[in-house]
Amino acid sequence: MSLAPRFILGIDTSCDETSVAIYDALEKRMLVNLVSSQVALHARHGGVVPELASREHSENLTPLFETALLNSGLRLSDLNAVAVTNTPGLIGCLLVGTSFAKALSYRLKIPLYAINHLEAHLFSPFIGGDIEFPFLGLVVSGGHTAFYRVGSFSDIELVGQTVDDAAGEAFDKCAKLMGLGYPGGPMIDKLARQGDPLAYAFTIPKVKMGPQYLSFSGIKTALHHHLQAALPLDETKRKNLSASLQATVVETLLRKAKHFLDEHKYAGFALSGGVAMNSLLRERVALLGAQRGISCVIAKPEFCTDNGGMIAFLAAHREAEGGPFTLSTTPSKKIQARGLKT
C-alpha cells in the first residue's frame, strides 16, 4: 500500500507569475508559497509578451525553488511529490514548469501530478479550511470567467461562462483606454473607492445564447463612448468612470451567481481567481452569503492571483483518486482536466 504524499511541491508557470509552494498534506498547512511577478516587465508592453514570460520563468524558477526549500526548512529528499500546471496557459511558459517538474520527479523518484490551472483556482478558496459539497464555484481572472457546479474533486461541471472577454480582461482593457497602465484591475479598484458608481451609465449585458452566459465586451465599448464625451479626462472623471464600470462588472457577476444559486441547491459559493482580489466583489460576495444563509468562501489574497500553493493543494486531493501521472505528461493548450466536463 502506498502512502499518501506529505510534502508536495507545487509549481505554476502558466502565465506571468513564476510560483513555487510546498504544502504539508498531513498537517494541512501551506509551508511556503512564493511568487515572482513579472508584472513590471510586461507593463512596459501593455500586456503579457509570451516569449519574454517564458524567458523570465527559465531564469527565476530554479532560484525560487531553492528559496522555497530553504524557507520551508525541508531538505530536497523530504519532498514526496511534485505538482505542476500543465494546462491551460502559454505553451512556452508551461514547458518551463513541466520540464522542471519532470526532471525533479525523475531525480527524486517521486510522483508527478499534472494539474489543471482552472481546477486549482476553483478549489483555492478552501486552502486551510474544510470543503462542503456541492458548491457553486466562480473562477474570475484575466483569462477566464466561468461558473462550475462542484460535487466532488472529480465531479466538476461547467455551468456557465463568458461568451467574449473575461472580467479581468475587461478591467485591463478599460484601464488601458483610460491610460492607467497594466494590469488594470488593481488600479480601477483603487480609483473606484473614491468615485461615484452612479456617475456614468453602464448596462448589464444580456446574452442571447441563454441565461447561463455572461458578456463583458460591451462594457469596454460603453466606456469608449463615455470617454469621448468626457475628454479631457481628469482625476475625478477617472475615479467616477472606474467606480461605475467596476459596479457593473461586479453586478453582472453577482446576478449570474444568484441565477445559478436559484437553479440548484448548493451548500456554498466559492470565489477565486485574480479578480477575486477586487474589494467590491469581495464585499458583495460576503453579503450574498449572509443574505442567502450559505457559506461564501473567498480565496485568500495570496491564493487569488496565480500561485503554486493552489497547485500543490489540489494534488493533495488527487492522490486518493487515482494516483500520479507519468513522465509522458506534456503541457497542453487544450483544457484537459480529470473532472472537468466542458
In this structure, what are the phi and psi dihedrals at residue 22, rounded to the nearest 5 degrees? -130, 125
Mark the segment that binds ligand KG4 (CB under 6 A) among 19-27, 127-135, 157-165, 177-185: 177-185
Q: Which is nearer to ligand KG4, 98 or 242 (CB)?
A: 242
108 or 161: CB nearest ligand KG4:
161
Q: Mark residues 12-41: x for contact with ligand KG4 by CB under 6 A, - for none.
A: ---x--------------------------
Among 168, 268, 308, 339, indicate the residue that binds ligand KG4 (CB under 6 A).
168
Identify which of residues 24 and 239 has a Cβ nearer to ligand KG4 in the complex: 239
Helix (H, G, I), strand (E, B) or coil at 39: helix
Beta-strand relationship, 112-116 and 81-87:
parallel
Ranges of beta strands (E only) in 164-315 are: 268-272, 295-298
Distant-in-sequence, close-in-space partners of 208: CB < 8 Å, separation ≥ 6: none
Contacts made by residues 227-231, CB under 8 angstroms, sequence distance 24+: 227/177, 227/178
Q: Is 172 in the site for Zn ion (CB under 5 A)?
A: no
Stretch (H or E) spanning 146: strand 145-152
- 162 lies in the binding site for ligand KG4 (CB under 6 A): no
Please state, in angstroms and rounded to a whole number, the distance separating the CA atoms of residues 288 and 263.
Answer: 16
CA distance readout (Å), 75 to 65, 71, 80, 156, 336: 12, 10, 11, 36, 33
Site for ligand KG4 in 112-141 (CB under 6 A): 141
Exactly one of 24, 119, 165, 172 binds ligand KG4 (CB under 6 A); that residue is: 172
Q: How many residues bind Zn ion (CB under 5 A)?
A: 2
Of all helices (H) and strands (E), which one includes residue 149? strand 145-152
Nearer to Zn ion, 197 or 274 (CB): 274
What contacts 338, CB < 8 A, 6 or more positions away?
116, 119, 154, 318, 321, 322
Mask: binding to ligand KG4, 64-103, rule CB under 6 A, as x and -? ----------------------------------------
125, 274, 308, 324: residue in contact with ligand KG4 (rule CB under 6 A): 274
Q: Which of 65, 278, 315, 339 binds ligand KG4 (CB under 6 A)?
A: 278
Under 8 Å between Cβ of 149 and 139: no
Q: Which range touches Zn ion (CB under 5 A), out of 38-46, 99-107, 141-149, 171-179?
A: 141-149
3-class DSSP assignment, residue 266:
coil
- Please pick, from the candidates 125, 137, 183, 268, the single residue that binds ligand KG4 as defined by CB under 6 A: 183
Could you tell me the smallest distance in angstroms from the CB atom of residue 15 to ligand KG4? Answer: 6
CA nearest to 82, candidates 151, 136, 20, 155: 20
**Among 119, 172, 189, 306, interactor with Zn ion by CB under 5 A:** 306
Residue 185 in contact with ligand KG4, rule: CB under 6 A: yes
Given the complex with Zn ion, which of 306 and 319 has the nearer CB atom? 306
Residue 141 interacting with Zn ion (CB under 5 A)? yes
Q: Is 119 in the site for Zn ion (CB under 5 A)?
A: no
* 261 burial type by CB count under 10 A (0-12 exposed, 13-18 middle, 19+ buried): middle
Smallest CA-to-CA distance from 96 within 143, 129, 62 is with 62
Q: Where along the sequence are the contacts to Zn ion (CB under 5 A)?
A: 141, 306
Q: Where along the sequence are the contacts to ligand KG4 (CB under 6 A)?
A: 15, 141-143, 168, 171-172, 183-186, 189, 273-275, 277-278, 305-306
